[in-house]
Homo-oligomer: A and B are copies of this chain.
Amino acid sequence: MDISPLAPARFPDLPEITGVTFATAAAGIKYKDRTDVLLALLAPGTSVAGVFTRSATRSAPVLDCQAKLGSDPGGAAAILVNSGNSNAFTGGRGVTSVAAICQAVCDETGVAVDRVFTASTGVIGEPLPHDRIVAKIAELHANQAADAIEKAARAIMTTDTFAKGAAATVDVAGKPVKIAGIAKGSGMIAPDMATMLVYIFTDAKIGQSDLQKIVSALNAKTFNCITVDSDTSTSDSLLMAATGASGVDVTGHDGFVEALHGVMQDLAHQVVRDGEGATKFVTVKVEGARSDDDAHKVALSIANSPLVKTAIAGEDANWGRVVMAVGKSGAAADRDRLSIRFGDITVAENGWRAPNYSEEATSAYMKNAELEIGVDLGIGDGTSTVWTCDLTHGYISINADYRS
């Protein structure tokens, strides 16, 4: 498959995080001739936080991770991820697979079973051939390396057209703290959960519950604000591991939160940039809503509307469809106070077309690969920003023939 036209030029240079090592292997779960399993090992004392899909049909690995997150930190930890099969809707067999993988990681590495976090991504409803993963665990243990994070990003890809990574270094009391993250995700991307697989590592020192609070709050502003196709996955998970190896305590440090926000937002945008069939990266900014919740409803209604998304694909400045999406959102709106802009061009205000509206100028703007749709509801202070992509023939082609 061709690389998304919205992809970054190259995978970024990610710093090594002391206390974290990676290895990947080709277990042949579904794909041929590529890696499909990742094992990351985390040093003793690492705090692990996470957010997960809220789907009522979430996968066995998600349920297992959720049960383990609350457990007391302490010894070493491990993250094992496979691509090609999501181990979702696989009943008791799915639970057995997770248990077998966790036990095998424990037997090989000595990491306690309740500190082994797994994830699976790919087809739903097929039994996971976990023996193929178990057979690779010794190899994965033997090959651990601190500089293999790009390989890790590649092993967890499914319909992704590029590997996704982001990093930051933040100065805390004169000492550098490093953050490095990877993500996968391209379809079945919608908010109200951690819309994909995301793994972020830092050498910062911070307790589990403090880390969890920061991660949950930032997730609400980043991964929960992107949508490719309004479809919410059964599997998706974000894990953040803080090894503490820098010796720098970041508890209560705003600079750390800001840097982590940047990394999470960068990864979230990369998922949208790799949206199935995407040719446009679209920022939807809503302000003037009765509440932030209302603003978020309006932003998602616009970002998920097939008619808005196809108009963008066709480079058509069809702001009438934005009006429609505002109207159907369920949020309070007053038609006559609503204004809409495409980029800096006001297209509608005071309940109808802007007096100086220029079809020519707006059509020229729509040819950009990066677009901003702004909506001011004019009735309050609520704001929300959501990122999405267009809906193209490419999406249909990919998804009308993905499974087979």
Contact = CB atoms under 8 A, between A and B. Distances in A.
Interface of A: 53, 55-58, 86, 88-94, 123-127, 187-188, 190, 192, 229-234, 304-307, 310-311, 313-314, 316, 318-321, 323-329, 331-333, 335-336, 338, 348, 350-353, 391-393, 395-397, 399-404
A57 B353 contact: no
Contact of A320 (B124, B230, B310): B124
Given A306-B231, A352-B94, A319 B401 contact: no
A89 B351 contact: yes
A335 B404 contact: no
A390 to B, nearest CB: 9
A320 B91 contact: no
Contacts of A92: 351-352
Contacts of A91: 335-336, 350-352
A56 B333 contact: yes
B313 A396 contact: yes
Contact of A396 (B127, B234, B392): B392
- Among all A-B residue pairs, the 6 with the closest Cβ atoms: A124-B320, A314-B400, A57-B327, A55-B327, A91-B351, A91-B352
Given A124-B323, A352-B90, A307 B403 contact: no
B403 A89 contact: no
A320 B88 contact: yes
Given A313-B396, A316-B404, A403-B316, A56 B306 contact: no
A54 to B, nearest CB: 8
17 contacts: A56-B328, A56-B332, A57-B335, A88-B320, A90-B351, A123-B320, A124-B321, A125-B353, A190-B328, A229-B307, A230-B306, A231-B328, A232-B327, A311-B400, A391-B396, A392-B400, A396-B396
Nearest to A390: B400
Contacts of A125: 319-320, 323, 348, 352-353
A403 B332 CA distance: 27
A243 to B, nearest CB: 33
Contacts of A124: 320-321, 323-324
Contacts of A190: 328
Given A399-B310, A400-B311, A55 B320 contact: no
A56 B234 contact: no
A306 B310 CA distance: 13
Contacts of A86: 320
A190 B328 CA distance: 10
Nearest to A231: B307
A232 B324 contact: yes
Given A57-B335, A350-B91, A327 B399 contact: no
Contacts of A304: 230
Nearest to A305: B231
A343 to B, nearest CB: 18
A214 to B, nearest CB: 26
Contacts of A127: 352-353
Contact of A393 (B57, B319, B321, B393): B393
Of the listed residues A90, A231, A403, the one surrounded by the most CB atoms of chain B closer than 10 A to its CB is: A231
A335 B56 contact: yes
A280 to B, nearest CB: 11
A55 B331 CA distance: 10
Given A56-B331, A89-B335, A403 B311 contact: yes
A190 B395 CA distance: 21
B351 A395 contact: no
